[in-house]
């Protein structure tokens, strides 16, 4: 009888212990849950050491996910379902996401490091007062080329790319606005043209470029060009900077017909669960030393004025990647052309990609 009592007491005790252990475990799980932050950024667009540093400094665990176009990122956020606490769209996407109610207003009192941003990058028309977004990187779209592979030929214009001698020598960035924009600019039309005749003309002109196009690629474009797999690439300026850092035989030019000036900003999407943590992360990335480290690592141009003091002069004085603002008169910023027009650009780009096959 006594033995049985001891036995039941032991079972009861063990069960009680298990119960408390599981409670404690659940509590830590909940704790970790609240202390995670999901960051949704372009591929190759952050120094991973900064994520580690942020985690160490705040005790927040970062779940890092990447996208390769504004269109893909917007679709994923609009769809809901997944948590994204911070995202990094470009200007026209920010305007569109605002319109679609996909962004949460920022609390500037939690972003004291915003004061380090060059005012040129603040209060732009896609987000007056920076209510929803703060600068991350900026740049242009242009042509990176390898003079040695082109017999010393210089590239200065979009129209140079249609030269029949360049058969299979061009790599294109996988971006609808960039590629259609190149077609439009080569015809001296605006990057924001909504005239369907002009857009068709641009698409037809791009179709005539096909024999020269070796591939349409994502982030691998940097490796391919640095390894001299092709002589020419249509790229974002920061990728060009990265390629030239790897292989200094290459050069970068913004074509004379004009091109795109873009801004990528940090936002807090509607899908956010850790709004407090999101502000902490954004403020962390606005810190001048962190911004400098990030810019040096990824090759893109920082809008952080104070960060420039912490970077080598050969980077910050390179006019190809830090151009004077007075000299970039023929650059256009993409506008939010509205749902229908953006879909039309995407459709034309898709047709162009199919035509290649």
Smaller CB separation from ligand N2P, 95 or 212: 95
* Shortest distance, position 290 Cβ to ligand N2P, whole Å: 18
* Shortest distance, position 78 Cβ to ligand N2P, whole Å: 19
Please list, in sequence order, all residues whose beta carbon lies within 8 angstroms of the beta carbon of residue 268, skipping any fewer than 6 positions away: 85, 86, 87, 103, 104, 106, 132, 275, 278, 279, 282
* Shortest distance, position 89 Cβ to ligand N2P, whole Å: 9
Q: By beta-carbon distance, which residue lies closest to ligand N2P?
A: 42
How far is CA 283 from its chain centroid? 18
Smaller CB separation from ligand N2P, 45 or 145: 45
Taking Cα atoms as reference points, which of 37, 59, 65 lies closest to residue 275? 37
* Shortest distance, position 41 Cβ to ligand N2P, whole Å: 8
With H, G, I as helix, E, B as strand and everything else as coil, classify residue 269.
strand
Rounded distance between C-alpha atoms, residue 278 and residue 56, angstroms: 15
* Shortest distance, position 45 Cβ to ligand N2P, whole Å: 5
Smaller CB separation from ligand N2P, 89 or 288: 89
Smaller CB separation from ligand N2P, 45 or 189: 45
Smaller CB separation from ligand N2P, 70 or 186: 70
Smaller CB separation from ligand N2P, 43 or 59: 43
Please list, in sequence order, all residues whose beta carbon lies within 8 angstroms of the beta carbon of residue 22, skipping any fewer than 6 positions away: none
145 labelled binding-site residue: no
Please list, in sequence order, all residues whose beta carbon lies within 8 angstroms of the beta carbon of residue 330, skipping any fewer than 6 positions away: 256, 257, 258, 259
* Shortest distance, position 184 Cβ to ligand N2P, whole Å: 18
Smaller CB separation from ligand N2P, 262 or 321: 262
Rounded distance between C-alpha atoms, residue 78 and residue 244, angstroms: 37
Rounded distance between C-alpha atoms, residue 166 and residue 164, angstroms: 5
* Shortest distance, position 315 Cβ to ligand N2P, whole Å: 17
* Shortest distance, position 90 Cβ to ligand N2P, whole Å: 5
Sequential DSSP letters for 326-354 = GG-TTEEPPP---HHHHHHHHHHHHHHHH
Rounded distance between C-alpha atoms, residue 31 and residue 51, angstroms: 20
End-to-end CA distance of the chain: 84
Question: Is the Cβ–Cβ distance between 261 and 140 less than 8 Å?
Answer: yes
Q: Which residues bind ligand N2P (CB under 6 A)?
A: 42-45, 90, 219, 236, 262, 264
Query: How many C-beta atoms lie closer than 10 Å to residue 283's C-beta?
Result: 17
Question: Is the Cβ–Cβ distance between 155 and 232 less than 8 Å?
Answer: yes
Smaller CB separation from ligand N2P, 54 or 262: 262
Residue list for the binding site: 92
Residue list for the binding site for spermidine: 92
């Amino acid at each position: 009888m006594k033995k049985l009592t001891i036995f039941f007491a032991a079972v009861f005790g063990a069960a009680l212990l298990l119960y408390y252990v599981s409670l404690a475990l659940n509590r830590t799980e909940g704790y970790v849950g609240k202390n995670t932050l999901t960051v949704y950024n372009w591929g190759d667009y952050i120094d991973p050491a900064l994520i580690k540093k942020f985690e160490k400094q705040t005790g927040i665990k970062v779940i890092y996910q990447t996208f390769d176009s504004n269109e893909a990122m917007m679709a994923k956020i609009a769809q809901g379902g997944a948590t994204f606490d911070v995202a990094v769209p470009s200007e026209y996407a920010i305007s569109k996401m605002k319109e679609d109610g996909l962004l949460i207003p920022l609390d500037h009192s939690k972003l004291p490091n915003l004061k380090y941003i060059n005012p040129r990058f603040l209060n732009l028309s896609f987000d007056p007062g920076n209510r929803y977004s703060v600068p991350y990187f900026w740049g242009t779209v242009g042509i990176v080329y390898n003079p040695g592979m082109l017999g010393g030929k210089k590239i200065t214009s979009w129209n140079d790319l249609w030269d029949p001698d360049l058969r299979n020598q061009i790599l294109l960035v996988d971006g609808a606005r960039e590629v259609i924009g190149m077609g439009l600019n080569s015809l001296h039309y605006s990057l924001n043209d909504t005239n369907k005749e002009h857009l068709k003309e641009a698409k037809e002109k791009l179709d005539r470029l096909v024999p020269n196009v070796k591939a349409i690629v994502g982030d691998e474009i940097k490796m391919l060009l640095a390894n001299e797999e092709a002589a020419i690439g249509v790229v974002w300026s920061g990728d060009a900077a990265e390629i030239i850092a790897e292989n200094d035989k290459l050069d970068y030019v913004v074509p004379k017909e004009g091109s795109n000036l873009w801004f990528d900003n940090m936002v807090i999407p509607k899908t956010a669960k850790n709004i407090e943590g999101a502000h902490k992360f954004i403020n962390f990335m606005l810190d001048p030393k962190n911004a400098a480290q990030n810019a040096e690592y990824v090759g893109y141009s920082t809008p952080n004025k104070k960060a420039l003091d912490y970077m080598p002069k050969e980077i910050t004085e390179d006019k190809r990647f830090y151009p004077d603002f007075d000299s970039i008169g023929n650059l256009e910023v993409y506008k939010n052309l509205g749902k229908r027009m953006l879909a039309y650009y995407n459709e034309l780009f898709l047709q162009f990609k199919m035509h290649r096959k």
